[in-house]
Amino acid sequence: MLVSVYDSSTGAMSSMADYSVDIAVIGAGIAGIGAAAELSRTRQVLVLEAEERPGYHSTGRSAAMYEKHYGNAVIRRLTGLSEEFFLNPPSEVTETPLLSPRGMLVITDGSDEDVFIELVGDGSILAEISTAEALAMVPILRPESAKRAAYLAAPGIDVDALHQGWIRVLRRRGGNLICDARVSSLTFENGMWTIRAPGVTVRAPVVVNAAGAWADKVAEMAGLKPVGLVPCRRSMAVLPAPEGLDVSKWPMFGPALETWYCKPEAGALYVSPAEEDPVEPHDAYADDMVLAEGLDRFERATTVSVSRVERSWAGLRTFASDRTPVIGYDPAAQGFFWLAGQGGYGIQSSPMASRVAAALLLGERLNLPDEAELIAALSPARFR
């Protein structure tokens, strides 16, 4: 049978079968599409996506914020270097802002005060505010749940605008995106990878493994050792906004220990139990018990009584053992490149992660301070 090629501008599907390209990318989430768009400046690129549409899994289920102090040192470096892109996105990607006012409010009822104190630190990032100020920002909070509070003016990210913008860039430069094309085999012979999916064969000297939660599985399919990526489930419930309250200007809020969080969005409350449960790669769905426990914690911290969940879902956040992305050529295989393990930071770090991946694939320098140290920290060679 033939596979479907997704046209992001028209939504139309057409049929294709056989390709020879410079670089094949497996996975059309934010990582794969961002790198493919960068590479398409000078290379012929094709992206294979297993699902019926790009961004079906983690990218399409992200409640992303731009918080440059979030994550370990390598994540913070990638995120900080992405700031200029988010503030002034290239017009070819989007002509609308990628960032919008949101803010982040961290509270404590005293049970996790030690974590709160550590987060606030010297106050240079999170500014401590009074309980009264916290309740003015989020009037459904119980005063006893916000005995101490701190605020950070972190903006929200328009994930769809970024993802769709990169798809448009890829297509305008002659690249292709094929959906409904789950890879079934990868073989290497005479300097060329042959990638097979239902109805399509792709030959390329370089393959980029941007398969998210399935990245280790893709490596094993290619005869390589996995790097130990662990997909972790995170669930979300959508609640109707409290009657009579405008939630549009509320910040994202939750306790210092992050046993739940709430993001006001599109006139509703998106509440997550903030779990990080290791699972096998799959089309994730919310665990009812975990979701109920998280909603109970949310109820106890607010005046909201949860009587109706409008919908729920789950996504997979995939981490390496050191919680640092894996970006670089596999030391045991010619032309096999890793772009995976972004965890919960993939959207906010994606502009710079895409640039790093493209530079490594094209043999270019980024001209960054401490560039060699950054590249080494990301390299899959660290697991060998």
CATH for 3-62+159-228+322-383? 3.50.50.60
| pLDDT for the residue 126 | 95
- Which CATH superfamily is 104-152+230-319 part of? D-Amino Acid Oxidase, subunit A, domain 2 (3.30.9.10)
Evaluate if residue 321 carries a pLDDT over 50: yes
Evaluate if residue 13 carries a pLDDT over 50: no
Cα–Cα distance for residue pair 1/356, rounded to 1 Å: 37
> For 99-102, which contacts have Cβ atoms below 8 Å and span 24 or more sequence positions?
99/66, 99/155, 99/156, 99/157, 99/158, 100/155, 100/156, 100/158, 101/153, 101/155, 101/156, 101/249, 102/65, 102/154, 102/155, 102/156, 102/251, 102/252
Residue with tokens 């982040």: 104
| pLDDT for the residue 2 | 37
| DSSP bridge pairs for 188 | 193
Cα–Cα distance for residue pair 209/320, rounded to 1 Å: 14
**Range of weakest confidence among 9-23, 30-44, 109-123, 300-314:** 9-23
Residue with tokens 């992200």: 62
Cα–Cα distance for residue pair 236/259, rounded to 1 Å: 13
Evaluate if residue 159 carries a pLDDT over 80: yes
Evaluate if residue 191 carries a pLDDT over 70: yes
- The model's pTM is 0.93
Query: CA torsion, points 269, 155, 316, 266, in degrees to nearest 10?
Result: 30
Query: CA torsion, points 241, 242, 244, 248, in degrees to nearest 10?
Result: -40
Q: How confident is the model at residue 310 (pLDDT cuts 50, 70, 90)?
A: very high
Spatial contact of 36 and 25, defined as CB atoms under 8 Å apart:
yes
Q: How confident is the model at residue 215 (pLDDT cuts 50, 70, 90)?
A: very high
Are domains 3-62+159-228+322-383 and 104-152+230-319 of this chain identical in fold? no
Cα–chain center distance at 257: 21
Six-digit token string for 287: 């665990």
Instruction: Give alpha helix (H) positions in the chain.
Output: 30-39, 73-81, 83-87, 113-120, 131-137, 159-172, 215-221, 288-301, 350-362, 371-378
The number of beta carbons lying within 10 Å of the beta carbon of residue 166 is 28
Six-digit token string for 80: 């900080």
| pLDDT for the residue 56 | 84
| pLDDT for the residue 4 | 46
| pLDDT for the residue 177 | 97
Query: What is the pLDDT averaged over residues 190-211?
Result: 97
Break the chain into its structural domains and give their ranges: 3-62+159-228+322-383, 104-152+230-319
Phi, psi of 372 (to 5 degrees): -60, -40
| pLDDT for the residue 15 | 52
The percent of residues in the chain predicted with pLDDT above 70, rounded, is 96
Spatial contact of 206 and 291, defined as CB atoms under 8 Å apart:
no
| pLDDT for the residue 60 | 73
Evaluate if residue 196 carries a pLDDT over 60: yes
Cα–Cα distance for residue pair 294/277, rounded to 1 Å: 13
What one-character DSSP code corresponds to residue 281?
A: S
Evaluate if residue 9 carries a pLDDT over 90: no
Query: What is the pLDDT averaged over residues 74-94?
Result: 97
Residue 169 CA neighbour count, 13 Å, CB half: 23
b vs e for 263-301, b when ≥16 Cβ sit within 10 Å of the residue's Cβ? bbbeebbbbbbbbeeeeebeebebbeebbeebbebbeeb
Evaluate if residue 286 carries a pLDDT over 90: yes
Query: What is the pLDDT averaged over residues 17-23?
Result: 93
Evaluate if residue 276 carries a pLDDT over 80: yes
Phi, psi of 271 (to 5 degrees): -115, 130
The percent of residues in the chain predicted with pLDDT above 90, rounded, is 90
